[in-house]
Structure 1
């Protein structure tokens, strides 16, 4: 059983509205989203595109429902934009998150990313050369140190279709960045989708993990995605991902590692699906029930 004093449970709004494909969940409002999060028993949320930009408006809406902000996605373009430009936007987002009570900011390098493009996700991924590796890791080290100065922690989100996707890339990345400045955002679904054992990665880097995405995967859909050369987003539309307990990822070893290695922080259900096919409240309740049964949270 997990210690509620150490581990908090959140959910991402991407199950209600998808910022990468705005037609998915366009009918779902911010108020409906956070109300249903609370109704399902979650106390943490990441920030989505429909969330109010005004801190006071957002705080009031969340306080009414007993929810706090725990993270937000931030796209870096360290390979294709001047560092100073990236840092300015990064610190703006980090300060907003800190004001909302969050402790981490989730970063993903989006230079050359194909996650939003209509190309086969398993065949068109960009591979960095040594110079680009240095540019990326040094840039992230600088951002991580800047985040520390304002009391925030940079966590890096490995992601399908991006420059950090494979097991080899995750390992090289973790060996290259400053362990005091850059930490891991571990995602069970993106590991599984990339053909990596999520348990292997998490066991190796638990001590350097500061945020967790609990995402399940339907292997039969992944098989079709490979055979039919689907893009990442086409896979999402067709049900690649689902909530924990509804797919093929074995979460028990992950939960055991969270407990045995003393992880402290948020675990966040993040499972993008078409809300017209997977009712967000229904699946949030399903995830909440499964996690409660397995962890006691």
Structure 2
């Protein structure tokens, strides 16, 4: 077991991209009992041993001081943190204080971006709602409210040295390719960028490349998440919620499902993307051991993506 990330054995992308792994593999913020046995130290030791350079912040992390001490000790970078905005429901002025505090926290940890998802009407965390047939939809009057609010948050993020990257997400008002493209068209490119997530793009529309090709100029953060075809079909047939779908194994790491990651990886590289890609897969760590699946993802990344 490596106790600190060793640059000589860590993942080294031939195109300069930095690779990390999302903390949701170890523990879940929405279903708090899932992975509750894992600690920050468990995750950091796995990341260092597996050779991933970074991760994001999760809600279960300890204080910022303890987190900073431990990430520095293990040589792991903090890249970003999720922020749930309620701009449409509450108005942007009500959102600004908490968002500003999040930006201050992320700068303390050395992050470079803040992940924002509008949660007004979201059903992603509701376990008795079919994620495949039920989602909130913005009215024509609400679209400019969200866009202008995000531009305002983007200004605050920039003041703290961060990029605001918007996360298109199942069960939210910005889920589909059309919704994501529309949001990018309505927001200021200097203030609002995109987090491109392969798993949400595939499950939401069955189309990974369509969204990436349409928004590549706005992409400043990437999650590579795979989908198990049998579990996707099963979850659709049973009308599962988002939470129950991933608990049933709908998502997995790259190379373990049905998405061909050579296409998005090649497209990103060809368009000069050279910052962070995070391996992400919402799974139950009691079933899908994070170290095992992190190793599986690294093997696929190096043997398949780095050779194209």
TM-score, length of structure 2 as denominator length: 0.92
Q: Give the 3-state SS of the residue equivalent to 1:105 in structure 2.
A: strand
**Which moves more between the two structures, 184-193 or 222-231?**
222-231
Relative contact order higher in (CA < 8 Å, ≥ 6 apart) = 1
> How far off its partner does 1:292 sit?
1.8
CA distance in structure 2 between the aligned counterparts of 1:105 and 1:5, rounded to whole angstroms: 24
> How far off its partner does 1:77 sit?
0.4
Contact persistence 2:261–2:305 (CA under 8 A): no
TM-score, length of structure 1 as denominator length: 0.95
Structure 2 gaps, min length 5: 1-11
CA distance in structure 2 between the aligned counterparts of 1:101 and 1:30, rounded to whole angstroms: 17
> How far off its partner does 1:222 sit?
1.4
Partner of residue 108, structure 2: 99
Partner of residue 276, structure 1: 286
CA distance in structure 2 between the aligned counterparts of 1:160 and 1:133, rounded to whole angstroms: 18
Residue 74 of structure 1, aligned match among 78, 83, 94: 83
Structure 1 gaps, min length 5: none
CA distance in structure 2 between the aligned counterparts of 1:3 and 1:109, rounded to whole angstroms: 32
Q: Give the 3-state SS of the residue equivalent to 1:230 in structure 2.
A: coil
> How far off its partner does 1:177 sit?
1.0
Contact persistence 1:9–1:267 (CA under 8 A): yes
Q: Give the 3-state SS of the residue equivalent to 2:195 in structure 1.
A: strand
Partner of residue 201, structure 1: 211
> How far off its partner does 1:67 sit?
0.3
Contact persistence 1:127–1:163 (CA under 8 A): yes
Residue 58 of structure 1, aligned match among 61, 67, 75: 67
Partner of residue 221, structure 1: 231
Q: Give the 3-state SS of the residue equivalent to 2:29 in structure 1.
A: coil
CA distance in structure 1 between the aligned counterparts of 2:216 and 2:16, rounded to whole angstroms: 14
Count, aligned residues: 295
Contact persistence 1:158–1:165 (CA under 8 A): yes
Residue 193 of structure 2, aligned match among 180, 183, 187: 183
